[in-house]
Amino acid sequence: MKLYGSREAQSVEPDFTPLIDVVFLLLIFSLWTVDTAGLANAAVRLPIEPGDGKATAGAPPIVVDVLADGSVMVAESAVNDSELVALAATAWRASPGGQPKIRADRAAPAGRLNSAVDALRRGGFDQLSLATTPSLASAPEPKP
């Protein structure tokens, strides 16, 4: 009866393939995150107002930028009023209790801001938030 088998030296080599896979996944995720982080931040000089001081919980269902030239942007795509109504309706169905955020440039035409608000209301939203800057010192100039 043989109780102990022959113990041969077995070489154990580390397998780096899973480590390399994880590193590449982290790299791709971080590059994608950095790339998409700037999508909702068009060059907008926000109005200088104190605001209500309340931070909204969670991400808004839709972010609308009204630029100084009067153009309206959603996720860095220029939209007209009918497209904004359709986007707002889709966002409202996905998040009925959410509040869309409007980021209007200080120099944006008031009529264009009003038409964007009207389009959001026709899309189903009855409340919205208007982004402001508390003071001139904290209002960064947009990057060209």
Q: What is the pLDDT along the chain (144 residues), one digit of tens a residue?
A: 555 655 666 777 888 888 899 998 888 887 777 655 555 556 676 666 666 666 656 677 888 888 888 889 888 888 898 888 998 888 888 887 788 888 888 888 888 889 999 998 998 888 888 887 776 544 455 555
CATH no. of 63-138: 3.30.420
Model confidence pTM above 0.85: no
Give the integer Cα–Cα distance in Å for 99 and 126: 8
Give the integer Cα–Cα distance in Å for 118 and 128: 11
- Cα torsion 27, 30, 32, 36 to 10°: value is -170
Q: Which string of DSSP letters, residue by residue, matches 2-66?
A: --S------------HHHHHHHHHHHHHHHHHHHHHTTT--S----B-----PPPSS--S-EEEE
Strands 72-74 and 63-66, how do they pair? antiparallel
Domain boundary assignment for the chain = 63-138
Return phi, psi of residue 112, to 5°: -70, -40
Give the integer Cα–Cα distance in Å for 12 and 122: 67
Query: Measured on CA atoms in the order 124, 85, 92, 105, is the torsion positive or negative?
Result: negative
Question: Can you point out the beta strands (E) in 39-134?
Answer: 63-66, 72-74, 77-79, 101-104, 129-130
